[in-house]
């Protein structure tokens, strides 16, 4: 950046230095107290010292709302960016990122996050702690699974996941009731019914806990040790509508295909309390349209139709 920038333009609010070949954003940036939009895409940023030290504590760190660093050479999300607490839009697409730091949750004002076109393999659950996030773009990466915690992004309206390595989606994604766009094309989503054949039998503690819950055995906190009361509170209901059982630690992982908006069938991960809950569906292993499968997916199908628009093509 040119020396004396802050002296020439003390009231500068928008700065666009895209496509200029910059490898460093100098400390002159720190003296722009009104800067709210910084566009520095398609440069050579990404090496040591490419961003000024103390960016989060400087005046621009408090005023910046939009930051676009797409098309650069960052191998990780710069720690300096995690101090921009007022940032609403962050674009780091087309870089060399291999992961998302858990501290991304510090950007509490973030509404738009673009991380497409990188080498990201996983999504940290902490990403779900962004209460205002409405647009999340993770396309063209190497992501293999979606953490169920993303269902906590209650403000999310658009989720772009196309061209990744996804084979299923967590059932919890149906809780994103405000989601309007879901892009999944270019993923190896499973095309037939798949079931995890491994199953660890329940422990004696779990068997006892299941009995307490399914038979509604009355108890008070004063009747049991605190750890057992806490354990009983963690019971999960079996999604099989014909079961009514519960599970704690031991469960059967299963993928169910769900009608989505009456047009698409999505593979969602389910957790059943027993192999017996999935045995009626064993004949469906070669067909995703069997009647037994449809019977157990009705509840999820109804929930899925709350979403208005799905981009799979």
Mean pLDDT, the chain, integer: 80
In this model, does residue 158 exceed pLDDT 50?
yes
Structural domain count, the chain: 1
Question: What DSSP assignment string belongs to 206-237?
Answer: HHHHHHHHHTT----GGGS-HHHHHHHTT-EE
208 found inside a domain: yes
Residues 6+ apart with CB under 8 A from 294: none
Q: Containing domain of residue 245, as a range?
A: 202-256
2: in domain: no
**DSSP assignment letter at 75:** S
Does residue 170 form part of some domain?
A: no
pLDDT in tens, 100-134: 999 999 999 999 999 999 999 999 999 999 999 99
What whole-number distance in Å separates Cα of residue 235 and Cα of residue 214? 10
* Distance (Å) of CA 131 to CA 7, 134, 172: 37, 9, 17
Q: Is 213 inside any structural domain?
A: yes
* Per-residue pLDDT at 12: 84
Residue 118 covered by a domain? no
Place of tokens 């190896």: 188
Name the pairing type of β-strands 264-272 and 135-137.
unpaired
Question: Does the residue 303 lie in any domain?
Answer: no
What pLDDT is stored for residue 304 in this prediction?
42
User: Is 308 part of any domain?
Assistant: no
Does residue 141 lie within any of the structural domains? no
**Higher per-residue confidence, 288 vs 62:** 62
User: What is this structure's pTM?
Assistant: 0.68
Q: CA-CA distance, 146 to 184, in Å (whole number)?
A: 12
């Amino acid at each position: 950046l040119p020396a004396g920038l802050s002296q020439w333009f003390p009231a500068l609010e928008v700065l666009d230095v895209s496509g200029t070949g910059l490898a460093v954003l100098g400390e002159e940036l720190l003296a722009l107290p009104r800067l709210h939009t910084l566009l520095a895409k398609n440069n050579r940023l990404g090496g040591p010292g490419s961003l000024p030290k103390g960016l989060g504590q400087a005046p621009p760190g408090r005023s910046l709302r939009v930051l676009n660093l797409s098309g650069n050479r960052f191998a990780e999300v710069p720690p300096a960016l995690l101090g921009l607490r007022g940032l609403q839009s962050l674009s780091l697409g087309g870089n060399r990122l291999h992961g998302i730091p858990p501290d991304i949750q510090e950007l509490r004002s973030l509404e738009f996050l673009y991380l497409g076109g990188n080498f990201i393999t996983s999504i940290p659950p902490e990403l779900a702690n962004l209460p205002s996030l409405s647009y999340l773009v993770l396309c063209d990466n190497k992501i293999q699974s979606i953490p169920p915690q993303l269902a906590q992004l209650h403000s999310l309206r658009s989720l772009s996941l196309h061209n990744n390595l996804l084979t299923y989606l967590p059932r919890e994604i149906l809780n994103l009731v405000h989601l309007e766009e879901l892009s999944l094309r270019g993923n190896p989503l499973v095309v037939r019914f798949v079931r995890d054949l491994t199953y660890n039998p329940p422990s004696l503690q779990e068997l006892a806990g299941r009995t307490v819950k399914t038979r509604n055995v009355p108890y008070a906190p004063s009747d049991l040790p605190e750890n057992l009361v806490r354990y009983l509170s963690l019971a999960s209901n079996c999604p099989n509508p014909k079961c009514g059982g519960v599970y704690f630690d031991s469960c059967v992982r299963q993928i169910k295909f769900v009608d989505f908006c009456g047009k698409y069938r999505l593979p969602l991960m389910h957790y059943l309390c027993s192999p017996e809950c999935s045995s009626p569906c064993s004949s469906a292993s070669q067909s995703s349209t069997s009647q037994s499968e449809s019977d157990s997916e009705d509840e999820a199908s109804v929930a899925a139709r709350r979403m208005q628009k799905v981009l799979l093509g």
